Amino acid sequence: MTFIYLISIYVSTIVSGILVFIAIGHILYKKRSPNSMISWILAIFFLPFISVPLYFIIGIRKRESRSKKEYVKIAKPEKYHKYNISSSEHSVLSLLEKNKMPSATKNNDIKLILSDTKAFKEMLEQINNSKYSIDICTYVFKFDKTTQILLDALEKKAKEGVKVRVLLDIVGSIGAYIKQGKFKKAKEVGVDIVFFTPIFKRPFQSYINLRNHRKIYLFDQKILLSGGMNLSDEYMGLEEDEQRWDDLMYKLIGPSVFHFYYIFCNDWAYAKGEKNNFDIDQSLEFDGSDIVQVVPSGPDIQVDALYETLLNAIYNAKERIWIVTPYFVPSENIIQSLIIAKHKGVDVKLITPKHSNHLLADLGRSPYMRELNSAGVEVMLYRGNMLHAKAILFDSLAGMVGSVNFDNRSLFLNYEVVTFVYSKRVVDELEEWMRSLMDSSNKGMQKPSKVRETIENIVKVFTPLL
């Protein structure tokens, strides 16, 4: 018995050593930032039995496999080429186009929705008015009063013959995944509900860490709702709720809606395990006045186009960079670019919740925010409800709204999508909204206690893993 025990210990030690060697070798081989490499190596050194399997499950960002998601390919319907905008007039446009992002298009109409009740009523109205198709992709879906009303409306449309597809992320909507029996009625009447990469069926292939964080709500292929709002009482509802989060949604009508349709179909085909099937209606005409550009990001995009564009926009800013984000755990490159912009005389502002819903994220962000604050960047801590909106203003030229947070997870791991808006009207509306947030914010960072500062610095070491 003792001999068998010693042999098992010996074999376990050898196997563990091999796995540690493979993990560290893979970390050094892959193109990672120094911070990410150090974080993983430290984690493996101090907690090898936890960190090594965790690395193989969540640490590999882009990996070839038979179940790998196809890269997003956004076709350009011939009839809609007339709406494309030349990239030569704007550095952001140019860089995105060189990174094979969809062209910016004219004749769009975009409307910001800043009220939770208005967002819900708009969502419900679009569902009720749909005649052919409803395509919904969201990160969070919870069974509550808000979603019950939406489910009832979706069931009604499915009974009328409308094609209804609902794509939910299994991590963000884990409660709905566990209680799928509550979808029985919806499925019976024809609502097709699919979860993005079930982690329990292929735990080492579907990548728990690579989540679909996109919010895409499409109606008859011609009207889009998107932004930061998921589907639950926390984000929207029929009646006012003092505890509801502060967020932003936008409504888009125009040729750029088709770019969202391609992104949704790519996600749907992967989750469903079927081939892409694009059925674009090319009979529509658009007469809006806004120029917009849709930018997906994530493991299904060959390059980090969004990250490069943000860095480029910060370095090229001449007037201002105003950022609204619920979570702020950026790369060192982002931090340095913001500090350099401030030193150049650019008005740099960061608006983020005083306390978010994630303590670790709050601890990890604080050293970065203090560094920015020391450099003269205006750090605004919003005193209201949890601020979940994501938006950026670049000078007076463009605004960015969408699902992406200003952290490493959103910029490098999650499947995300944002919209760049090159419209003075929308930029002015975003500015007015941001100023209202500033009026309800505390300015600057207080000096932390020694204990708090020590904890923050420890967490900062591991922020690339958050």
Residue that terminates a domain, selected from 290, 313, 348: 290
50 compared with 325, residue with greater pLDDT: 325
Cβ proximity of 321 and 141 under 8 Å: no
Q: pLDDT tens, 338-352?
A: 999 999 999 999 999
Residue 89 lies in a domain: no
| 444, 410: one domain | yes
| 267, 317: one domain | no
Mean pLDDT of 248-277: 91
Average pLDDT, whole number, for the chain? 84
Burial class (CB in 10 A: 0-12, 13-18, 19+), 77: middle
What whole-number distance in Å separates Cα of residue 172 and Cα of residue 175?
Answer: 8
| 406, 283: one domain | no
> Nearest 5 degrees, angle CA 275-CA 267-CA 103?
100
| 370, 446: one domain | yes
Cβ proximity of 134 and 154 under 8 Å: yes
Cβ proximity of 285 and 274 under 8 Å: no
Mean pLDDT of 314-319: 93
Please give the pLDDT value at position 63.
44
Residue that terminates a domain, selected from 255, 290, 325: 290
392 compared with 366, residue with greater pLDDT: 392
What whole-number distance in Å separates Cα of residue 89 and Cα of residue 105?
Answer: 13
Residue 296 lies in a domain: no
Residue 54 lies in a domain: yes
Please give the pLDDT value at position 65.
43
Cβ proximity of 167 and 264 under 8 Å: yes
Please give the pLDDT value at position 16.
55
Please give the residue range of the domain that contains residue 120. Answer: 104-290
Q: Which residues pair with 108 in a beta bridge?
A: 290
Please give the pLDDT value at position 75.
67
For residue 67, pLDDT beyond 90: no
Q: Sign of torsion, CA 225 195 325 63?
A: negative
What is the token pair recorded at 389?
A: 């909106």
pLDDT band at 360 (very low <50, low <70, confident <90, very high): confident
Cβ proximity of 416 and 298 under 8 Å: yes
| 213, 258: one domain | yes
113 compared with 197, residue with greater pLDDT: 113
Which residues touch 359 (CB under 8 Å, ≥6 apart)? none
What whole-number distance in Å separates Cα of residue 350 and Cα of residue 381?
Answer: 8
Q: What percent of the chain has pLDDT over 70?
A: 77
Please give the pLDDT value at position 283.
73
Residue 94 lies in a domain: no
| 310, 455: one domain | yes
Residue 297 lies in a domain: no
For residue 90, pLDDT beyond 70: no
| 338, 445: one domain | yes
For residue 186, pLDDT beyond 80: yes
CATH number at residue 352: 3.30.870.10
Mean pLDDT of 369-379: 94
| 235, 161: one domain | yes
| 128, 256: one domain | yes
Residue 452 lies in a domain: yes
| 374, 420: one domain | yes
Cβ proximity of 193 and 217 under 8 Å: no
> DSSP strand E in 152-232: where?
163-169, 192-196, 216-219, 223-227
| 280, 389: one domain | no
Residue 97 lies in a domain: no
- pTM of the predicted model, to two decimals? 0.86
What whole-number distance in Å separates Cα of residue 27 and Cα of residue 10?
Answer: 26
pLDDT band at 315 (very low <50, low <70, confident <90, very high): very high
- Looking at the structure of the chain, the number of domains it has is 3
Please give the pLDDT value at position 66.
40
For residue 175, pLDDT beyond 90: yes
Which residues touch 80 (CB under 8 Å, ≥6 apart)? 105, 255, 258, 282
Q: pLDDT tens, 420-441?
A: 999 999 999 999 999 999 999 9
51 compared with 103, residue with greater pLDDT: 103
Which residues touch 369 (CB under 8 Å, ≥6 apart)? 328, 350, 352, 379, 445
| 268, 320: one domain | no
What is the token pair recorded at 266?
A: 């790519």
Residue that terminates a domain, selected from 256, 290, 324: 290
293-312 burial, b at 16+ Cβ within 10 Å, e below that, comes to: bbbbbbbbbeeebbbebbbb
What whole-number distance in Å separates Cα of residue 32 and Cα of residue 17?
Answer: 22
Q: Which of 3-12, 259-268, 292-301 has the lowest mean pLDDT?
A: 3-12
Residue 380 lies in a domain: yes
Single-letter residue type at 301: I
Q: Which residues pair with 407 in a beta bridge?
A: 329
